[in-house]
Amino acid sequence: MVFSMFNGSKLFRLAASTSIAALLLGAGVAVANPAVYGAPGYGGGYYQQQSPLGGGLIEALVGDAPGPVRYAAPPAPHAYPGARQTAAYAPQPLETQRAIDPMYMRAEVDYDGSERPGTIVVDTPNKFLYYVNGRGRATRYGIGVGRPGFEWSGVKTISRKAEWPDWTPPAEMLARRPDLPRHMEGGPANPLGARAMYLGSSLYRIHGTNEPHTIGQNVSSGCIRMMNDDVVDLYNRTPVGTRVIVR
């Protein structure tokens, strides 16, 4: 009855809530503190701020206390730093990943070549790229190489490096494939993949791919393609000026 007489007074409600909270605390009943709950972290969820009144009896008596406040959680970080955040940059389907022959997975192997540590050696016939670690060891990566008529061999150096490179097909490629885009921005949908290392003044590159199932095949126009995880690993090991031997 007393509450209904003063129902319109926010001041009274505040005083009443304070008195009731004091009584409850004196009786050993806990009153909730403000707390964050919900789904913290990344992934597009929300942080939710609990009412400072704690809900329950006090909030029912006081009435129009503010409801929970929702804060947008920060977006999930991209798999590769520097990538543009667009819906087209989706990860490769699991079915595509499973199509890769296990023999082409990255591995630390024995190596008996005479090249200096830090050299890249491309074994075109066997579809492997070796990064020479020294002391008889190398890191071996599976690769895709030039299709018939586009194979080549020689010695080059890495002249430039790029993260999530844009792709502009050369004129000779457009002459063969007029259906290709004239330009494509970098990202997982781009044929150059996550990283590119340009070889000398040629049009050839060591680069990632948006078609990982082609690793182990003769499919390119002369470039050396790698799985995106592998090309990122190699990219981080190799400075501009690295010697590349293609056999």
Catalytic residue numbers read 207, 223
Q: Rg of the chain over CA atoms, in angstroms?
A: 31
CA neighbor of 75 nearest in space, from 115, 43, 123: 43
Secondary structure of residue 237 in the 3-state scheme: helix
Residues in the chain: 247
Look at the alpha carbons of 237, 185, 147, 143 in this order and tell me if their dihedral is positive or negative.
positive
Tell me the residue ranges of DSSP E strands in the chain: 36-38, 46-49, 69-72, 107-110, 120-123, 128-134, 137-142, 145-146, 154-163, 195-199, 205-207, 218-220, 224-225, 243-246
Can you tell me the distance from the alpha carbon of 121 to that of 7, in angstroms, rounded to the nearest whole number? 83
CA-CA-CA-CA dihedral for 138, 192, 224, 120, to nearest 10: -30
Of all helices (H) and strands (E), which one includes residue 175? Answer: helix 171-176
